[in-house]
Structure 1
Amino acid sequence: MLDGSELYTLEIDGASFVKACGGPCTEGCVTLARIGDDAWALGDSKRPDKEPLRFTTAELDAAGIDPARFGLSA
Protein backbone atom coordinates (compact mmCIF):
# COMPACT_ATOMS: atom_id res chain seq x y z
CA MET A 1 0.00 0.00 0.00
CA LEU A 2 1.19 3.50 -0.82
CA ASP A 3 1.93 5.98 1.93
CA GLY A 4 1.11 9.70 1.88
CA SER A 5 4.43 10.85 0.47
CA GLU A 6 4.34 8.26 -2.33
CA LEU A 7 0.86 9.37 -3.39
CA TYR A 8 2.18 12.83 -4.16
CA THR A 9 4.93 11.48 -6.43
CA LEU A 10 2.34 9.98 -8.80
CA GLU A 11 1.71 11.91 -12.02
CA ILE A 12 -1.78 13.38 -12.41
CA ASP A 13 -1.32 15.31 -15.65
CA GLY A 14 -3.78 13.80 -18.08
CA ALA A 15 -5.84 12.10 -15.35
CA SER A 16 -9.56 11.95 -16.17
CA PHE A 17 -11.42 13.68 -13.36
CA VAL A 18 -15.12 12.88 -13.01
CA LYS A 19 -17.61 15.09 -11.12
CA ALA A 20 -20.09 14.00 -8.47
CA CYS A 21 -22.51 16.60 -7.18
CA GLY A 22 -24.51 16.43 -3.98
CA GLY A 23 -27.09 18.82 -5.36
CA PRO A 24 -27.23 21.44 -8.09
CA CYS A 25 -23.82 21.71 -9.71
CA THR A 26 -23.97 25.49 -9.37
CA GLU A 27 -22.45 25.04 -5.90
CA GLY A 28 -19.37 23.22 -7.13
CA CYS A 29 -18.64 19.56 -7.27
CA VAL A 30 -16.10 17.10 -5.98
CA THR A 31 -13.94 15.58 -8.71
CA LEU A 32 -12.20 12.22 -8.53
CA ALA A 33 -9.64 10.49 -10.74
CA ARG A 34 -7.78 7.20 -10.45
CA ILE A 35 -4.05 7.95 -10.57
CA GLY A 36 -2.72 4.47 -9.78
CA ASP A 37 -3.71 0.94 -8.77
CA ASP A 38 -4.53 2.05 -5.22
CA ALA A 39 -4.40 5.82 -5.65
CA TRP A 40 -6.94 8.57 -6.20
CA ALA A 41 -6.88 12.34 -6.64
CA LEU A 42 -9.79 14.32 -5.18
CA GLY A 43 -10.36 17.87 -6.37
CA ASP A 44 -12.86 20.74 -6.28
CA SER A 45 -14.48 21.88 -9.52
CA LYS A 46 -14.81 25.46 -8.21
CA ARG A 47 -11.07 25.61 -7.42
CA PRO A 48 -9.40 23.86 -10.38
CA ASP A 49 -6.20 25.84 -9.75
CA LYS A 50 -5.68 24.07 -6.40
CA GLU A 51 -3.69 20.83 -6.19
CA PRO A 52 -6.04 17.85 -5.71
CA LEU A 53 -5.71 15.88 -2.50
CA ARG A 54 -4.56 12.28 -2.88
CA PHE A 55 -5.86 9.18 -1.16
CA THR A 56 -5.55 5.40 -1.19
CA THR A 57 -8.67 3.31 -1.82
CA ALA A 58 -8.77 2.40 1.89
CA GLU A 59 -8.64 6.08 2.86
CA LEU A 60 -11.50 6.92 0.47
CA ASP A 61 -13.52 4.06 1.96
CA ALA A 62 -12.82 5.25 5.51
CA ALA A 63 -14.02 8.74 4.52
CA GLY A 64 -17.22 7.32 3.00
CA ILE A 65 -16.28 8.28 -0.55
CA ASP A 66 -17.40 5.63 -3.04
CA PRO A 67 -15.75 5.80 -6.48
CA ALA A 68 -18.90 4.16 -7.91
CA ARG A 69 -20.77 7.40 -7.21
CA PHE A 70 -18.44 8.93 -9.80
CA GLY A 71 -18.98 6.06 -12.23
CA LEU A 72 -15.52 4.66 -11.36
CA SER A 73 -14.68 1.20 -10.06
CA ALA A 74 -12.46 0.68 -7.05
Structure 2
Amino acid sequence: MPTRNDLYQLDLSNASFTKACGGPCSEGCVTLARIGDDAWALGDSKRPDVEPLRFSTEELSVAGIDPTRFGLAL
Protein backbone atom coordinates (compact mmCIF):
# COMPACT_ATOMS: atom_id res chain seq x y z
CA MET A 1 0.00 0.00 0.00
CA PRO A 2 1.40 3.42 -0.90
CA THR A 3 2.16 5.81 1.93
CA ARG A 4 0.36 9.12 2.29
CA ASN A 5 3.43 10.96 0.97
CA ASP A 6 3.68 8.61 -2.04
CA LEU A 7 0.06 9.31 -2.97
CA TYR A 8 0.52 13.07 -2.89
CA GLN A 9 3.63 12.84 -5.09
CA LEU A 10 1.59 11.37 -7.96
CA ASP A 11 0.85 13.71 -10.87
CA LEU A 12 -2.83 14.50 -11.53
CA SER A 13 -2.33 16.38 -14.81
CA ASN A 14 -3.50 13.41 -16.92
CA ALA A 15 -6.04 12.04 -14.43
CA SER A 16 -9.47 11.33 -15.89
CA PHE A 17 -12.10 12.06 -13.24
CA THR A 18 -15.53 10.40 -13.33
CA LYS A 19 -18.60 11.69 -11.46
CA ALA A 20 -20.95 9.77 -9.20
CA CYS A 21 -23.93 11.61 -7.78
CA GLY A 22 -25.72 10.65 -4.58
CA GLY A 23 -28.72 12.78 -5.45
CA PRO A 24 -29.59 15.42 -8.01
CA CYS A 25 -26.40 16.27 -9.92
CA SER A 26 -27.28 19.94 -9.57
CA GLU A 27 -26.23 19.49 -5.92
CA GLY A 28 -22.71 18.54 -6.94
CA CYS A 29 -20.99 15.23 -7.34
CA VAL A 30 -18.02 13.34 -6.05
CA THR A 31 -15.33 12.75 -8.66
CA LEU A 32 -12.88 9.86 -8.68
CA ALA A 33 -9.83 9.04 -10.79
CA ARG A 34 -7.34 6.19 -10.73
CA ILE A 35 -3.90 7.79 -10.44
CA GLY A 36 -1.79 4.67 -9.96
CA ASP A 37 -1.90 0.90 -9.46
CA ASP A 38 -3.21 1.30 -5.90
CA ALA A 39 -3.95 5.02 -5.85
CA TRP A 40 -7.06 7.15 -6.29
CA ALA A 41 -7.89 10.86 -6.24
CA LEU A 42 -11.29 11.94 -4.87
CA GLY A 43 -12.59 15.40 -5.67
CA ASP A 44 -15.72 17.54 -5.36
CA SER A 45 -17.37 18.84 -8.54
CA LYS A 46 -18.68 21.87 -6.63
CA ARG A 47 -15.11 22.87 -5.74
CA PRO A 48 -12.91 21.92 -8.72
CA ASP A 49 -10.24 24.38 -7.56
CA VAL A 50 -9.60 22.38 -4.36
CA GLU A 51 -6.86 19.72 -4.49
CA PRO A 52 -8.44 16.24 -4.55
CA LEU A 53 -7.82 13.92 -1.62
CA ARG A 54 -5.69 10.83 -2.29
CA PHE A 55 -6.48 7.28 -1.16
CA SER A 56 -5.22 3.75 -1.59
CA THR A 57 -7.73 1.12 -2.74
CA GLU A 58 -7.90 -0.24 0.81
CA GLU A 59 -8.63 3.22 2.23
CA LEU A 60 -11.43 3.74 -0.32
CA SER A 61 -12.95 0.41 0.68
CA VAL A 62 -12.82 1.25 4.39
CA ALA A 63 -14.52 4.58 3.61
CA GLY A 64 -17.28 2.74 1.73
CA ILE A 65 -16.36 4.19 -1.66
CA ASP A 66 -16.71 1.69 -4.51
CA PRO A 67 -14.87 2.66 -7.73
CA THR A 68 -17.22 0.42 -9.72
CA ARG A 69 -20.03 2.86 -8.89
CA PHE A 70 -18.07 5.37 -10.96
CA GLY A 71 -17.67 2.86 -13.79
CA LEU A 72 -14.01 2.31 -12.83
CA ALA A 73 -12.40 -1.11 -12.52
CA LEU A 74 -10.55 -2.14 -9.40
Per the normalisation by structure 2, the TM-score is 0.98
How many residues are treated as equivalent by the alignment?
A: 74
Find the counterpart in structure 1 of residue 47 from structure 2. Answer: 47
Unaligned runs of 5+ in 2: none
CA distance in 1, matches of 2:73, 2:56: 13
Aligned letter for 2:15? A
Aligned letter for 1:55? F
Unaligned runs of 5+ in 1: none
**Identical residues among aligned pairs (%):** 73
Q: Following superposition, which runs of at least 4 residues in structure 1 exceed 2 angstroms of deviation?
A: none
Find the counterpart in structure 1 of residue 38 from structure 2. Answer: 38
Per the normalisation by structure 1, the TM-score is 0.98
Find the counterpart in structure 1 of residue 16 from structure 2. Answer: 16
Offset at residue 14 of structure 1 (A): 1.6
Find the counterpart in structure 2 of residue 66 from structure 1. Answer: 66
Aligned letter for 1:43? G
